[in-house]
Chain A
Amino acid sequence: MKKLINSPDDVVQESLRGMEAAHADILKVNYDPAYIVRADAPVKNKVGVISGGGSGHEPMHGGFVGRGMLDAACPGAVFTSPTPDQMEEATKAVSSGQGVLHIVKNYTGDVLNFETAADLCQAEGIEVEAVVVDDDVAVKDSLYTAGRRGVGTTVLMEKIVGAAAERGMSLKEVADLARKVNAQGRSMGMALTSCTVPSAGKPTFELGEGEIELGIGIHGEPGRERTALKTARELVDYMGEAIFSDLPYKSGDDVIVMVNGMGGTPLIELYLLYAELERVAKARGITIKRRLVGNYITSLEMQGFSITALKCDDQMVQLWDDPVHTAGLRWGV
């Protein structure tokens, strides 16, 4: 394993130290229990918005803490859910009496830990609503599985819902909006290479030269199929079809999209992929109103990318355009 670290055990903690030092104007870090919080928290008369999950997906979630997005984020160990004590303390730190929204990605550990945290917060008199993101079309959604995984829509939700809370919307309004974003967002990813979890020391899975994994999860979980390498055009055709046929989207729809790098993909390739996505959307009569191209929800150093599409209305676009000031996203300020 070749990584720019000191010791596998200290990766998360030492990275948090760097983040705090680099972005002291935006955020503060609490180390025990660990959470990243807006420097000006709690913000008066505002619904708090927090999220959390395993580390290794940076900039999500800590990089989205700041004005117009998250009030706090709880980092777990790499690819491992944080624990309820982190979520409870983060919730208290951002609570201004208007209630707090928990944005939870659909993994059994994350869901159970956030539910437990919500119980603890409610016992302390803080009103909490939780919204679960489950947007990964690569995974079968049925009564017989834990349901779809939560991936790229989380980033778009954190931006839109964060703006809504900043505008002063109520907890119920913010939670309803979050559920709407989840219902209208779809994602799919693919990998050219595996990633290596620092404490494991070896790649999570093996891919042969010329092999790719279609439908990969953000922790290197297997997806739909392992297949031979395809061109960017073929990949975006396949993933675009999987996403746009799932909702289903129809001609005349407006979308916000994200072409996201998994951590080890150069921007030259991500822009090339974005051009292909514009082509696919146009052929279906779908208008891309806003877009993100870059590394936003990563899997350590994995090479690969994901596409997220969110069917949007005017309100979502306006909230998207609202000012945001975080380490990972910044405009209008």
Chain B
Amino acid sequence: MITLSQILAWISQLDAVYTENKAYLTELDSAIGDADHGINMARGFSAARKALEESPPADIGAALKAVSMTLIKTVGGASGPLYGTVFLKASVTCMGQETIDEEGLERLFSEGFRGVQQRGKAQVGDKTMIDAWDPAVTALKEARSSGGGVAAMLQAAAAAAEAGRDATVPLVARKGRASYLGERSKGHQDPGATSTALLFAAARDTLS
């Protein structure tokens, strides 16, 4: 069972993780993008943590919705609406709930993933955050259907997201600003897949 206070801990952890990795993500982005991903993610999740502290949410859905609205307003670029959509779609699955079980966890992440997929229209292999999202959500579902609990599901998802992130290195970008580089985007790890892997690692560390 995942509680509201664990969800709040996850968001605080994301603030810490993106702040810690601000320079790293921005460096990845400067190679194939516009050199602002780390700055934007750190700004967005700091604002999200502050928003939750200033007006404590009543339930998990309300918490995720507040995170979504804050990200949409503060992150900017392409990542703002993409991560904002993840949290918005995820919030709809657990409105009014103070706890969620394995089934709820699966719905939260699969709906969030479906939202980002629809918004960004990227496929696996396009060298985007989808390359981390898709295997992570698949692994999460598989872990549950083979009888795993919350910890096993998040463990599997985080590992799959990291593998997906690493797999972006040799790819040629087909979406976003990096796509204009064509072949020159090869050899660089995708910053969006990297921030997604961090999101799942933080979930494993706080929600299990």
* Interface, chain A (partner B; CB < 8 A): 33, 76-77, 80-81, 83-85, 107-109, 112-113, 115-116, 139, 143-146, 221
Contact = CB atoms under 8 A, between A and B. Distances in A.
Given A109-B78, A112-B82, A144 B182 contact: yes
A139 B177 CA distance: 12
B180 A139 contact: yes
B119 A115 contact: yes
Contacts of B81: 84, 112-113, 115-116
Contacts of A77: 76
A47 to B, nearest CB: 25
B72 interface: yes
Contacts of A143: 174
B84 interface: yes
Contacts of B85: 116
B74 interface: yes
A84 B73 contact: yes
Judged by DSSP, the binding face of B is: helix
27 contacts: A80-B36, A80-B76, A81-B76, A81-B77, A83-B73, A83-B76, A83-B80, A84-B72, A84-B80, A107-B177, A109-B80, A112-B81, A112-B120, A113-B76, A113-B80, A113-B81, A115-B119, A116-B72, A116-B80, A116-B84, A116-B119, A143-B174, A144-B179, A146-B175, A146-B176, A146-B177, A221-B180
Given A83-B73, A85-B72, A144-B179, 7 more contacts: A80-B36, A81-B76, A109-B78, A112-B120, A113-B76, A144-B172, A145-B174
A98 B164 CA distance: 46
A145 B80 contact: no
Interface in B150-208: 172, 174-177, 179-180, 182
A112 B71 CA distance: 13
Contacts of B177: 107-108, 146
Contacts of A144: 172, 174, 179, 182
Contacts of B175: 108, 146
Q: Which 3 pairs show the lowest CB-CB distances between chains A and B?
A: A112-B81, A116-B81, A145-B179
A83 B71 CA distance: 10
Interface in B32-54: 36
Interface of B: 36, 72-78, 80-82, 84-85, 119-120, 172, 174-177, 179-180, 182
B37 to A, nearest CB: 12
A108 B174 contact: no
Contacts of B120: 112
Given A109-B78, A112-B119, A116-B81, A85 B176 contact: no
A289 B51 CA distance: 55
Contacts of A107: 177
Given A112-B120, A116-B81, A146 B180 contact: yes
Greatest chain A CB density within 10 A among B76, B81, B182 is at B81
A91 B13 CA distance: 35
A112 B78 contact: yes
Given A84-B81, A112-B119, A116-B84, A146 B179 contact: yes
Which of A85, A108, A113, A221 has most chain B Cβ within 10 Å? A108
A85 B73 CA distance: 6
Contacts of A33: 73
B119 A80 contact: no
A184 to B, nearest CB: 24
Contacts of A115: 81, 119
A145 B180 contact: yes
A284 B77 CA distance: 41
A34 to B, nearest CB: 12
B29 to A, nearest CB: 13
Contacts of B74: 83
A146 B78 CA distance: 12
Given A116-B119, A146-B180, A221-B180, A109 B174 contact: no
B40 to A, nearest CB: 10
Nearest to A146: B179
B35 to A, nearest CB: 9
A77 B34 CA distance: 14
A113 B83 CA distance: 11
A146 B77 CA distance: 14
Nearest to B85: A116
A109 B77 contact: yes
Contacts of A76: 76
